[in-house]
Amino acid sequence: MTAVRGVLLCPITMGLLMQSLFLLLLLLLLGSCLHPAAAFPKGCYPSEEEGLKTFRCSNAQLTEVPRDIPNDTNKLYLDFNQIPFLPRDAFRDLPLLLELDLSHNVIARIESGAFQGLAEHLHSLDLSSNRLVSVSKDAFSNLKARVNLSNNPWLCDCRLQELIRAVELAADSSAGIVCDSSTQEEHVGKAFLQVIADTDFCNGYKKTTDIAMLVTMFGWFAMVISYLVYYVRQNQEDARRHLEYLKSLPSKQRRSEESSTISTVV
């Protein structure tokens, strides 16, 4: 009877063991599927909107651009955070990105190459309501996206003029690009596009540079002329003194040295 029970229990034990192994394998598979989601920064989550893969990190208290963004993302929302600057290659692993919202951050600096890799597909870039004062046009090199630069404390100068000419502004955003400071005080508080309709900051800068160069060249020229005048006068003075010395000599020796002195002067 004991042997029969052992025979009956053995298949049951094997069945329970197989069932346990199956459950363990299932848990491992589920864990591996859930791992990428667990790696997302707190407050960030993926979704799908109008058939486009979207990644939202709005108001997530971020202080930098997160790294664990799915590389098939089409729309990325990083608005209402505390991101202070955009480093080089910040979005290089997002080749399919179409829209990028960085509005309402504290971005004050954008490194050259920050948007590298986005030129082919990106068509909308929102940088409104940040702390941008001055940005090189090179930061937007080859970028074809429509850019919103409104509501930033811009310094109106040649650099901003070059930037505005290098990018395509988003519709209805140009009026929000206002001079918070300027190389000319009367422009403060005015829309930048209104200001450059009458003022060419870069041309004025070029004129200032040209004038400085002319002043420098004139200074060097004056120094050369002064040296030449001094050199000629010094030689004339030395010759005069030598002639006076010769006059004090006996006549025969004087005539010989006078002819030598005259030939030297000539």
Tally of structural domains, the chain: 2
Residues 63 and 48 in one domain: yes
CA dihedral 122, 123, 129, 135 (to 10 degrees): 70
Residues 192 and 204 in one domain: no
Angle at 263 between CA 227 and CA 256, to 5 degrees: 130
Tokens linked to 66? 């997160």
- pLDDT on residue 120: 83
Residues 53 and 150 in one domain: yes
Question: 211: Cβ–Cβ under 8 A, 6 or more apart, which residues?
Answer: none
Q: Is residue 218 part of a domain?
A: yes
Residues 205 and 186 in one domain: no
Question: 160: Cβ–Cβ under 8 A, 6 or more apart, which residues?
Answer: 134, 135, 154, 192, 201
Task: Collapse the DSSP code of 28 into the 3-class scheme (helix H, G, I; strand E, B; otherwise coil) and give the result.
Answer: helix
Q: Is residue 20 part of a domain?
A: no
Residues 123 and 159 in one domain: yes
Tokens linked to 65? 């651009």
Report the CATH number at residue 129.
3.80.10.10
Residues 53 and 116 in one domain: yes
What does pLDDT average to in each consecutive run of 10 residues of the chain (266 residues)? 45 59 59 52 91 96 94 97 96 95 98 91 97 96 94 96 95 95 92 92 60 57 66 67 63 55 46
Residues 145 and 208 in one domain: no
Interatomic CA distance for residues 65 and 49, integer angstroms: 22
Residues 206 and 86 in one domain: no
Kind plus residue range of the DSSP H or E element containing 245:
helix 201-247
Q: Is residue 99 part of a domain?
A: yes
Q: Is residue 137 part of a domain?
A: yes
Residues 214 and 183 in one domain: no
Tokens linked to 36? 């990428």
Task: Collapse the DSSP code of 169 into the 3-class scheme (helix H, G, I; strand E, B; otherwise coil) and give the result.
Answer: strand
- pLDDT on residue 18: 66
Residues 164 and 212 in one domain: no
- pLDDT on residue 9: 42
Q: Is residue 94 part of a domain?
A: yes
In sequence order, the β-bridge partners of residue 86 are 110
Residues 214 and 112 in one domain: no
DSSP, residue by residue, 65-117: --S---TT-SEEE--SS---EE-TTTTTT-TT--EEE--SS---EE-TTTTTT
Does residue 223 come out as left (phi exceeding 0), alpha (psi in the -120 to 50 range) or beta? alpha
- pLDDT on residue 1: 47
Boundaries of domain holding 172: 39-199
Interatomic CA distance for residues 103 and 78, integer angstroms: 7
Interatomic CA distance for residues 108 and 89, integer angstroms: 17
Q: Is residue 73 part of a domain?
A: yes
Residues 107 and 176 in one domain: yes
Query: CB of 181 within 8 A of CB of 156?
Result: yes
